[in-house]
Amino acid sequence: MRFTKFLLLPALALFLSVGQAPSVDAGERYSKQKVVYHINYPGGPKDKKYAGAMKNIQNHINAVGADKLDIKVVVHGNGIGLLQSAKKTGKLQSAVANLKTQNISFQVCANTLKGRKIPVDSLYEVFKEDIVPSGVAELAHLQAKGYTYIKP
């Protein structure tokens, strides 16, 4: 009985400590970040992939803090559907609008607009200064400037 008690107590202590992760304040963990999110895919049924990408970006902001982030979202190719759907869809429009209020910029590929004959006014909140000559060239440009690449 003594032997069992001797083994049981340390095992119980170990079990209890494993389940408790130390609490870490994100403000202490993360420094300033420059990030480019790349969206060039279709949104799928009910724009689920686009909604997921917007949620990933919001989660990033929540973890690091808007004041420590410089995030750009580069949209080209099939990803243009994000801003087309946001023009019409309530939830997606709200997600994009919310990110924009947190200084997240959406950069749109001029080649995609021209090649697909997409008028800028068919996109949600896209202005002349949001259009870049080439989505892929913009990704390379931003990475050369120290932005971390993420494809949600």
Q: What is the pLDDT of residues 59-84, one digit of tens each?
A: 999 999 999 999 999 999 999 999 99
Q: What is the dihedral of CA 105, 111, 82, 123, to 10 degrees?
A: 80
Answer yes or no: pTM beyond 0.75: yes
Residue 29 confidence class, pLDDT cut points 50, 70, 90? confident
> Rounded mean pLDDT of the chain?
88
Give CA–CA dist 104/58, Å, rounded.
10
Q: Map out the domains of the chain with their CATH numbers.
A: 31-150 (3.40.1260.10)
3 state DSSP class of 73: strand
Under 8 Å between Cβ of 39 and 108: no
Whether the predicted pLDDT of 8 surpasses 80: no
- The mean per-residue pLDDT over the stretch 28-49 comes to 94
